Amino acid sequence: MARLITGLDAGRVRETAERIREELAAAAGDRPPPELLAAVKYVPLEALEVLAQAGVTLLGENRAQDLAAKADAHPGAFRWHFIGQLQSRKVKDVLPYVELIHSVASDSALRRLEQHGTPDTEVLVEVDVAGEEGKAGIAPGELEDFIARCPVRVVGLMAMPPYTEDPEASRPYFAALRELAGEHGLHHVSMGTSQDYAVAAAEGATIVRIGSLLYA
């Protein structure tokens, strides 16, 4: 089980974030570089102030209860995204805090979004680009229908490619997600993590989710 991250230093986090942003800009080429989203599942509430001091203000949380606690403790200090698996019963708890949900992938979530969403609610649809059995996400062939049935505004797609230690192995999945987003007229593409963010940026990511690397 992963441990909470302690001993964060604002200067070190700032330097790491600046280096990552430079790498993202270089990899993106002529495209605008993706935003760096700090995944804070294992960052305790009391350590979030260090991220603010380091200039890292776009945060992603995996758990609805922790999202509420962290956002309430630091009102106005951060922009929040929800990046964990979205349980339909938690939709109403997440919505008041976030500007974007990354992981909409079920009919039950659509029903709750219809009940609790507003005209300003924006979401990403999670796509199973690799067709992995048992993995969350909408199949590419079912995406058009799913987007049409979503009661709130779909602004992009998100995917987690199959686990690999080779960043280049993720490239075809990132390219496929970017292509799908283009086919459906969607701007945002959330893809890439600490190990493969540069490849994701090169393939058109607009948001990369960075966790462990940012806190090393």
Q: Report DSSP state, residue 88.
A: G
The answer to whether residue 175 sits within a structural domain is yes
The answer to whether residue 4 sits within a structural domain is no
Structure tokens at 179: 């292509």
The answer to whether residue 15 sits within a structural domain is yes
How far apart are the C-alpha atoms of 9 and 7, rounded to whole Å?
6
The answer to whether residue 86 sits within a structural domain is yes
The answer to whether residue 3 sits within a structural domain is no
Q: 3-state class of 114 per DSSP?
A: helix
Q: 3-state class of 118 per DSSP?
A: coil
pLDDT per position as a tens digit, 146-175: 999 999 999 999 999 998 999 999 999 999
Which residues partner with 38 through β-bridges?
59, 210
pLDDT at 133: 81
The whole-chain average pLDDT of the chain stands at: 96
Decide if 203 contacts 31 (C-beta within 8 A): no
The answer to whether residue 70 sits within a structural domain is yes
Domain count for the chain, please give it: 1
Give the range of the structural domain holding residue 150, as residue numbers without chain letter: 10-215
How far apart are the C-alpha atoms of 58 and 36, rounded to whole Å?
7
We report the CATH number of the domain holding residue 130 as 3.20.20.10
Give the dihedral sign, CA 51/54/56/57.
positive
pLDDT at 2: 66
E strand spans, the chain: 35-39, 58-61, 79-82, 100-104, 122-126, 153-158, 188-190, 207-210
pLDDT per position as a tens digit, 36-89: 999 999 999 999 999 999 999 999 999 999 999 999 999 999 999 999 999 999
The answer to whether residue 148 sits within a structural domain is yes
Give the CB-side neighbour count of residue 170, counting CA atoms within 13 A: 26
Q: Assign 132 a pLDDT band (cuts: 50, 70, 90).
A: confident
pTM for the full model?
A: 0.96
The answer to whether residue 19 sits within a structural domain is yes
